[in-house]
Structures are given as structure tokens and as C-alpha cells.
A = this chain, B = another copy of it.
């Protein structure tokens, strides 16, 4: 679990692209993630309105059969570090070398590429893991005539609800083609973005309470971390809108008019998510302003205490100092009630000061 978390962070700390890719020929299939040495694991769900079957194989030729079968196939490739295997798979499916390169390039930003025989798109799956940490995973889709090829790094994904629906034949999924399958995969991913939003929103609310009730210097750091998280999530999610839009406007026969209606609905979700992120961004900026105003207010309070104490007691100390002088001739010192008169004067001064500060609303 902690591995996932560190992945989320380190993706940003090190831009592995810079080191691994320099000097290599364009189109070279280079895995850029952190899970080296994994064998790719391929599972296929083949279905049509009447039948439903699950296969597990890594023989590339057998996988190719699903591409050409009349029923719809969801070919799921888990584990991207075996570059040779992926390259072989891609070549067998007649994918452009650039497609294969981007499929395993885990730092690829969300995008869509249309080719003659297939549509390729990359985006980020973002979800909460068991530790309530945000996990961001690379996922790539290849939409073909009768199949969707999915590349992901880890077994965990957000598609279990979809697998159940295919299995139990609920919803439209079984009666429609590969393009509708792609739509439901995208829909599952985007539905999970709302979880990210909720998570950010609750962090903002917690920090808001903290800023109002008990701000510490550490609060500022937490606000800053939140701002960075919003920036990062926004970067991953923002381009998805364009991706969906390009699918809707595509003239490629792979995407049917019927599915486009559903994609338009998805587009709405994207717009809503982007708007929310924009609002969260402004709110997190407001948080720091709020924090700063609170720090200033606290300083004001501290200064008032100091000023009140000093303004009352410094003059009084001066008065007692006067009668501590050792002049041989100081008439007041000889008066019988001199001491009490001075005490009385000081009490009067003390009370006057209190009233004055009360008036200034400093007390």
C-alpha cells in the first residue's frame, strides 16, 4: 500500500522520462514506471448479447483471435514493464510504434490519437486506496472494430462494477459494441474523479476549521500541500475534457452516433469536474489569505496585551521610583499619610487606564 503512495509522489519528484529517454530513438518502447520486472498478465472478457466468457492467456496469437471474432472483446493487459512482450503484442495487433511507446509511457499526459484502424487514448485512473491515499495510475485504451485493448500497470482498477454488469447482463453493455465498452470504461474512470473531488473538498473543510479554530505554522504547510495537490490533480484531469470532445467530433466509423450521445453526457461530467477543481483552487488560495489574516489578528492580540501591561505599569513604576530616591530633602516622604496618598494616586491612575483601554475596545 505504501508503495502506491510513494508512487503517487515520486511520479512528480523525478521526471524519469528525462533520464531514461534521452538519446534513444523516437518510437523506442521504454517503460517509465516503478514496477520493473513484472510479467504482463493478459485476461480477456468476450461477450455478446447471449454469451459471456473469460480467458487467461499470454500467447499473442491467441489474443489476436479475439480481435477478429464477431463478439466484442475486452482485452486487459496488466503489467507494462516487459517491454519486449508489449512490443510484440503491439506489432501483432498492427499498432503504430508510437502507440506502443505511449502505451507503456506511464508519464504520458492524457491524449487521443486517431489511426486508420483504431483509436488510441491515454488517461489517468485516480482513486483512493485502502489507506485513503490518492493513487494515480496510467491506463491506455486501443479501440478497435470488435475489441478494446486496455493497458494498465497494476491489477487494481476501477472497473469491477463494469465487470459485474457484463457478467449479470445489467444495463445496455452486452447488447452494444466495442465503442460502448470504451465509453463505459471511460465512464468508470471519470466517476471515480468525483471521489477525488470529495476527498479534496473534505480536506479543504478540515483546513478551514483548523484555520479558524487553531492555526499553527504547520497549518500553512498543509494548505500549501493542498494547493499543490489540486494543481496536480487538475493537470491530470483537465486534458480529459479535450479527449472526450475529440471522440465526440471524430468522424471515425469506430465511434457510432449512438455512443456519441453517451459521450456527450460524459463531457458534462468533465465540465463539472473542471469547474469544481477551479473552485477548489480558488478556495485553497483563500485559505492561505485567511490564515495570514488570522496570524495578523493573533499578533494584534499579543501586542495589545503587551501594550496594556506596559502602559499601566511603566508609569506606576516611575512613580514608586520617585519616592525611592534618596534626596535628603523630599517633603512628601515626611508626610504622615504620604505613602497612602501615593498608593491612592496610583490606584486612580490604574483605574483610569483600564477605563481608557476599555473605551478603545482593547479589553
Contacts and interface: CB of A to CB of B under 8 A. Distances in A.
A93 to B, nearest CB: 17
Contact of A98 (B25, B265, B324, B338): B265
Contacts of A335: 327
Given A14-B198, A279-B231, A191 B21 contact: yes
A34 interface: no
Nearest to A282: B231
Contacts of A192: 22
A51 interface: no
Interface string A247-266: 00000000000000110111
Interface residues of A, number: 118
A333 interface: yes
A231 B286 CA distance: 12
A101 B102 CA distance: 36
A15 B194 contact: yes
A113 B263 CA distance: 12
Interface in A293-313: 293-300, 302-307, 309-311, 313
Nearest to A164: B23
A183 to B, nearest CB: 7
B28 A111 contact: no
Tally of this chain's copies: 5
A316 interface: yes
Interface stretch (A65-73, A78-86, A216-224): A216-224
17 contacts: A15-B194, A18-B195, A23-B161, A25-B170, A26-B266, A27-B172, A98-B261, A98-B262, A101-B265, A109-B272, A212-B221, A217-B294, A217-B297, A231-B279, A314-B314, A324-B325, A327-B333
Interface of A: 12-15, 17-18, 21-28, 96, 98, 101-102, 108-109, 111, 113, 160-162, 164-165, 170-173, 183-184, 187-188, 191-192, 194-195, 197-198, 201, 205, 212, 214, 217, 220-221, 224, 227-228, 231-232, 235, 261-262, 264-266, 268, 271-272, 275, 279, 282-283, 286, 288-300, 302-307, 309-311, 313-318, 320-330, 332-339, 342-343, 361-362
Given A25-B165, A220-B290, A329-B339, 19 more contacts: A12-B201, A18-B194, A96-B261, A98-B261, A109-B275, A228-B283, A231-B282, A292-B292, A292-B296, A295-B300, A298-B300, A300-B302, A302-B304, A309-B314, A320-B322, A322-B343, A326-B326, A327-B338, A330-B339
